[in-house]
Amino acid sequence: MSKIKTLILLASSSLVLAGCSTMKVAPLTTGSADSYTQHEQTNGVVVGIRPITDKREIEDMFKVNLLDKGLLPILVVVENQSASDSFIIAKDKVYVLNEAIGTNNSSQQRGKVTSGAGEGMANAGGVMVALGGFALPLAIIGMPIEFTGMQKASNASVIEFNLADKEFYSWTLGPGEKAQGFVYFQFPKNSPPSGSYHVVAEVRNPATGETTTFDFPANLTLPK
C-alpha cells in the first residue's frame, strides 16, 4: 500500500477522533476479481470492474451522494494469480474513455478521473470542502465539493476519511496478492455521462517491461 495513503488515513482519522461524530462507515469488502460480471484474465492477472450508478447504494457506502457532486465511483479489483511474477498497477493507469471520441490511449481522449489523495495533499493550501461554516482539506480529489446543509465538522472528516480509505491507489502485487478500491470519474454536475464508455486499466510486469491493457465497455448512464 502506498505510503501516501497511510499518511492520508492517519491525518483523516485524527480528525475523526477529534470530533464526536455518530456517523459510522464500513470498510470496503470485495469479492474476487473474477466474481464481477465485467472481468478479464490475461498473463496471470485478473481485473474486475463495477461502476456504481445507484444513488442509494452510493449514499450507503460513502455517506454522501457523489453523483450530485459530479463524481461516479467505479470499483476496480485486481488479482495477481501468477505463481512467480509481480505486477504494477498505477492509479493514473486506470482511466475512462468516451467511445464517441475514440478508444486509443491519447490523454486528450481520456475521461477525467479525480487526482487522488497524494496530489490533493501535495497542493499548498489544499483543496477545501465547505461544510456548514467549517472548511476542511479534501484529500481525495482534485476539485472542490460543496456539501449543502449544516453537517458537523466531525461528520465531514468521516466522509473524507471514508472516500480516501476506499480510493484505488498504486500497487505492486506479488504472487497471490489483491488490490481493490474506487476510482472517481468526474463529470459536469449538470451534464451526467451518457452513451458508451470504456474503463481501461494498464498493468505492467516490471521484470519484462510488458504492459497488459484491460479494456471494459461500460455504460455509465445514470438512472433517472
CA distance 119 to 48: 25
In the chain, the number of structural domains is 1
The domain that holds 143 is classified in CATH as 2.60.40.10
Residue 206: inside a domain, yes or no? yes
Residue 224: inside a domain, yes or no? no
Q: With bands split at pLDDT 50, 70 and 90, how would you rate the model's confidence at 93? A: very high
**% helix, strand, coil for the chain, step of 5:** 25, 35, 40
Grid cell listed for 73: 465511483
* Among the listed residues 79, 49, 74, the one whose alpha carbon sits nearest the alpha carbon of residue 61: 74
Length of the chain: 224
Please give the residue range of the domain that contains residue 62.
3-219
Q: pLDDT by residue (tens digit) across 14-62?
A: 444 444 445 677 889 999 999 999 999 999 999 999 999 999 999 999 9
Cα 7-129-117 angle, rounded to 5 deg? 30
Which amino acid does the sequence have at 148?
A: T
Q: Are 202 and 95 in contact (CB under 8 A)?
A: no
Residue 137: inside a domain, yes or no? yes
Residue 122: inside a domain, yes or no? yes
> How large is the average pLDDT for residues 155-159?
77
pTM passes above 0.85: no
Residue 70: inside a domain, yes or no? yes
